[in-house]
């Protein structure tokens, strides 16, 4: 299933002003700012398709739009052609930034494959493949665990969530990271901070308009 009309909205909104919310994703991702502003409900409503708020590191927030649903993988895009691929909210591929995450082969017991979140710590081994530079199927061991319950606010609405952490262990390239996921009562990730490459800051994602599968 392909969602094509979103392209019209991306082109229109990207050309509305020099500080387009779409162009900010790449333009400012290395600029350290304090407290980036959340996307407003008005901005979300301009695009009648599934969307997420996204930012790299401490850059400004941008709105990314669902382009495609294929084989249970959602592909999100910006006007700068950064592509973010997610599986049940977990980033499994990200391209368009130079140092590319080509694929994560997630552990068979990873919550992305089971849609179950552990009450106790679990050990996982996933395999990461990168381009520029190329690295194929790097084994990365992580510990996935529950942290706490937390109420968060998205577009003015309070949402009860459980917070989970995925922490890397020692690996061949000494890559250290800690991913965080906020999961609602329906076991859906509504907010996350995810590392996808040793050479890039983490991506912050927040669901602004849920995708309703036909």
Among 35-49, 124-138, 152-166, which stretch is predicted with the lowest mean pLDDT? 35-49
| pLDDT (0 to 100) of residue 32 | 43
> Which residue has better confidence, 77 or 18?
77
| Confidence (pTM) | 0.83
Q: Which residue has the tokens 């301009």?
A: 46
The answer to whether residues 179 and 191 touch, using CB atoms and an 8 Å cutoff, is no
CA 166/CA 118 separation, integer angstroms? 11
CA distances from 91 to 6, 66, 104, 148 (A): 21, 14, 8, 22
For residue 195, pLDDT over 50 is answered with yes
CB atoms < 10 A from the CB of 206, how many?
20
Q: Which residue has the higher pLDDT, 10 or 153?
A: 153
Q: What would the two tokens of residue 21 be?
A: 């919310």
pLDDT of residue 26: 54
């Amino acid at each position: 299933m392909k969602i094509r009309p979103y392209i019209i909205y991306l082109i229109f909104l990207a050309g509305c002003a020099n500080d387009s919310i779409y162009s900010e994703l790449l333009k400012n991702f290395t600029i350290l700012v304090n407290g980036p502003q959340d996307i407003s409900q008005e901005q979300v409503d301009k695009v009648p398709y599934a969307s997420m708020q996204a930012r790299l590191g401490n850059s400004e927030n941008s709105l990314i739009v669902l382009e495609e649903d294929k084989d249970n993988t959602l592909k999100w895009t910006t006007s700068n052609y950064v592509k973010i691929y997610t599986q049940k909210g977990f980033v499994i591929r990200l391209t368009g930034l130079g140092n590319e995450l080509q694929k994560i082969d997630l552990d068979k017991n990873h919550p992305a494959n089971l849609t179950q979140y552990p009450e106790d710590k679990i050990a996982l081994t996933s395999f990461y493949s990168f381009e520029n530079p190329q690295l194929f199927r790097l084994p990365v061991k992580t510990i996935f665990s529950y942290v706490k319950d937390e109420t968060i606010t998205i577009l003015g609405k309070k949402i009860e969530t459980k917070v989970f952490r995925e922490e890397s262990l020692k690996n061949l390239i000494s890559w250290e990271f800690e991913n965080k996921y906020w999961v609602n009562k329906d076991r859906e990730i509504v907010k996350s901070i995810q590392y996808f490459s040793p050479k890039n800051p983490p991506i912050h994602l927040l669901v602004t308009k849920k995708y309703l599968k036909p």
